[in-house]
Amino acid sequence: MILELIERLTEEAAKRNMDFLLIGGQAMSHLGYQRLTMDVDFLGPQETRERWEQTLSSFGYRLSNRTEAFDQFHHSTPGWPRVDIMYVNQTTWRNLSEEAGSRVHGQVNIKVPSARHMVALKLHAARSPSRSDPGKDWTDIRQLVKRHNLDTADREFATIVVRYGGEEALERLKNPGS
């Protein structure tokens, strides 16, 4: 069901001229780490927010939670996956999308953030006070660092880690046992 939903939403987003990146657990599989997840996470530019709400409504989804930069949708039929959308400003969108890679997902091509940008997104999520399980994010972060040979000694990567996770995140990656 999740694969079909992503395919259908990708096709509909293209019709509505809505750019997005697949993020979260579904994107992790495209970055070399499989894990079970029962929702779908997208990231898009802030100006697509209204179009996402209209699109998801046409698929039977209803907005269930909204913050300044995040919408969560639930389907009216039990068992359908939740859809979460994170919205970013145009500068952030440009930075993320320029480095994103295209991947085949079922019958469609989707864009997925680079590994280092996915680390930034995961660090941001792990720091959120409302995050119920930041340990899951840290597992993803460690897998991304390992599988993509991301080096904390690299100044650009270290800057990303500190910006989104703080100095303690950088230390945690440098010393995994601590």
Domain end position, chosen among 113, 136, 155? 113
Shared domain for 11 and 94, answered yes or no, is yes
* Number of domains composing the chain: 2
**Which tens digit of pLDDT belongs to each residue from 33-52?**
988 888 999 999 999 999 99
Q: Is 63 helix (H, G, I), strand (E, B) or coil?
A: strand
Give the per-residue pLDDT at 178. Answer: 57
Shared domain for 13 and 98, answered yes or no, is yes
Structure tokens at 174: 């440098």
Q: Whole-angstrom Cα distance, residue 53 to residue 122?
A: 24
Domain end position, chosen among 79, 96, 113? 113
Give the per-residue pLDDT at 37. Answer: 85
Q: What is the CATH number of the domain that holds 42?
A: 3.30.460.40
**Which tens digit of pLDDT belongs to each residue from 57-100?**
999 999 999 999 999 999 989 889 999 999 999 999 999 999 99
Q: Whole-angstrom Cα distance, residue 53 to residue 41?
A: 14
